[in-house]
Amino acid sequence: MRTERNLTRLDRVFARLDREPERPVHLDVPKMSRHRIALFSGSLAFYVAIVWAVVITSWLVRLDWQVMFFRPYQQWPEIHAFVDYYVVLGQRGPTAVMVAAWLGWRSWRQHTLRPLLALGASLLLLNITVGAAKYGMGRLGPHYATTVGSNEMWAGGDIFPSGHTANAVVTWGILAYLASTPRARRWLSAVSAVTSLGVGMSTVYLGTHWLSDVVLGWVAGLLILLALPWCEPLIARCEAWLLGLRDRWSARSGRPAPAAATPVVLAPAVADPDAPAREPVAAARSRGVHLAPGPHTSRSERTPVTPVGSRRPPHPERHPRGTASTARPTSGS
């Protein structure tokens, strides 16, 4: 009697994921269009204008000092505890872990390394550009300012532009950049914009950044997101190299290399020539038919489910079929 193994919830999840294509064909990789180039050029010009306004100690620096003397954390002390927690959404470590976990699940689900590689490329650009600007201009923060009304530039600081704000723009904006549909991209863009805006204003409220630091941090993060399509060819080459390395490592270790689903070639039928042909496993998966996880073989390759031999218990006087039984001695006359 054949018994079927009861599928657990995890088995059903893996069986559903096994029907996913190797790489969804509907994913739209952003291109560096004219509209994006125009936005990038305008944002870059705005970035240079903010830096120049701070360097020459213009009205923007005077606004920074007015906001600092206003001391928002003293004007609204009841929200101080909430802002202390909210500003964590702009810290590099916690946000990178959360977003990397989500994008790692997407990479596993869609059988592509592009989400994780795009996140790595954006964080690398963030560290290089924002870090170089911070240490290159060396501006002191409001708590360490020495001269009232000065721009506090080239004094050994590291707060211009705001790293919290730029990190919030890039980390949460990468979710919108990697969205699969235009509707999801619009919603995620709005959510990331509001989140990064709140993180920037939180740093101004706490007095850790000037207002111009936050504005420049927004623009710096936007420039990184706008420049990501230029990195897409490099991301594709890195993905191909990593997948090839995985296949070579699998071949050396003796394991079968994970490859795209291919139709299973069945053995020629020997029982009934008029019987309908068996559907390949890959075709069944593409149609959405539920298949249990594990290797699937044709019926001709499976072991028989009927037990071999007789099901009756052995008997001392019973002989197997096909063997001659010896004559029983007769008793009596």
Q: What proportion of the chain, given as a percentage, has pLDDT over 70?
A: 68
> 301-308: long-range contacts at Cβ-Cβ below 8 A with a sequence spacing of 24 or more?
301/267, 305/1, 305/2
| pLDDT level of residue 314 (50, 70, 90 thresholds) | low
DSSP 8-class letter at 18: T
CA dist 185 and 182 (Å) reads 5
- Quick one: pLDDT band at residue 180, thresholds 50, 70, 90? confident
Which two tokens mark 213? Answer: 């630091």
pLDDT given for residue 140 in this prediction: 93
Kindly report, residue by residue over 98-130, the tens digit of the pLDDT.
999 999 998 888 888 999 999 999 999 999 999
Residue scoring higher pLDDT (67 or 295): 67
Query: Residue 218's pLDDT is what?
Result: 96
Q: How far apart are CA 308 and CA 293, in angstroms?
A: 28
Which residue type, as a one-letter code, is found at position 219? V
Q: What is the average pLDDT value for the chain, to the nearest integer? A: 79
CB under 8 Å to 195, separation ≥6 — which residues? Answer: 89, 168, 172
Amino acid at residue number 162: S
Q: Say yes or no to pLDDT of 23 above 60.
A: no
Per the CB < 8 A criterion, the answer to whether 149 and 57 are in contact is: yes
- Which residues, including other chains, have CB under 8 Å from residue 255's CB and lie 6 or more apart? none
pLDDT class of 3 with cuts at 50, 70, 90:
low
Alpha helices in the chain (DSSP H): 9-17, 34-55, 59-70, 72-75, 80-86, 92-110, 114-137, 163-177, 182-206, 211-227, 232-252, 281-286
Residue 311 contacts by C-beta under 8 Å, 6 or more apart in sequence? none
Give the pLDDT of residue 24. Answer: 54
Q: How confident is the model at residue 15 (pLDDT cuts 50, 70, 90)?
A: low
pTM reported for the whole predicted model: 0.68
Residue 215: the pLDDT is 96
